[in-house]
Chain A
Amino acid sequence: MVAIERPWSVVVWDDPVTPMSVVVVIFKKIFGYSNNKCTQLMLTVHHEGRAIVWSGQRERAESYCVKLQVAGLQSTIEHDQ
């Protein structure tokens, strides 16, 4: 039997000052996602106040979260329910 660990999620939070195009550029740079996917994620952040932008192992989630914070976005990690 294989034990499956619950993944960790990287969450990006909305704020009223960050330009939308900047969020898209940062997502592309950090995750290498397509322009379309980055735009969809940015719109989710904008409309819902937050978006899960990546899920997986804790170490990588933490690394991505730090990269997003270094780029100036509000980001946290959380353990999926």
Chain B
Amino acid sequence: MAGNKLFIRRRDGRIEVRLNDAGRAVAREAFGHVVAAERDPDHEWHASLNAPIDPASDDDDVVSKLHRQNEISTNAELAVMTLGEEFLNGAEAWAWLSTFQIALRSTAIANGLMTEEKLETCQPELLGYIRTLQQFLFALAECV
């Protein structure tokens, strides 16, 4: 990554993306997985994108589920489309943050890492990927 700050909010409200090629490659992979998972019921992240809204009910409201699906897809596709941008507007930065966050939680769920103990004892490569996404999120949260 370039410099200390991965994202910087400029005076005009735009957010400068300071990820280097390796950082953008991680982002590309994460955003691509979210787009794919929303479309493919067999994708390992698909279940985490379709969590119940009302667990006490046998089935959730179809309109709400469709709304969620549309919103997640829209954010992920916007994030993919703006991957090469040097600056993001507010809506684009929110799409990046939401999609990174979905990628982070989906990775943890798909690998059974939903406790601190399991997270700390997972494979170093996987832990490194999770820490990288967290780093992106920390930096973006300061800007949006």
User: Is A39 an interface residue, CB under 8 A from the partner?
Assistant: no
Q: Are A21 and B119 in contact (CB under 8 A)?
A: no
Size of the A side of the interface (Cβ < 8 Å), in residues, is 26
Q: Are B134 and A19 in contact (CB under 8 A)?
A: yes
User: Is B61 an interface residue, CB under 8 A from the partner?
Assistant: yes
Q: Which of A47-73 contact B (CB under 8 A)?
A: 62-63, 65-67, 69-73
Q: Are B53 and A16 in contact (CB under 8 A)?
A: no
Q: Are B53 and A17 in contact (CB under 8 A)?
A: no
Q: Are B119 and A70 in contact (CB under 8 A)?
A: no
In the complex, chain B residues whose CB is within 8 Å of the CB of A70: 68, 71-72, 75, 98
**Chain A residue at minimum C-beta to C-beta distance from B106:** A72
User: Is B17 an interface residue, CB under 8 A from the partner?
Assistant: no
Quote the shortest CB–CB distance from A76 to chain B (angstroms).
5
Give A16 to B104 CA distance when docked, in angstroms. 11
Q: Are B105 and A17 in contact (CB under 8 A)?
A: yes
User: Is A6 an interface residue, CB under 8 A from the partner?
Assistant: no
Seen from chain A, the residues whose Cβ lies within 8 Å of a Cβ on chain B are: 15-19, 21-22, 24-26, 29, 62-63, 65-67, 69-74, 76-79
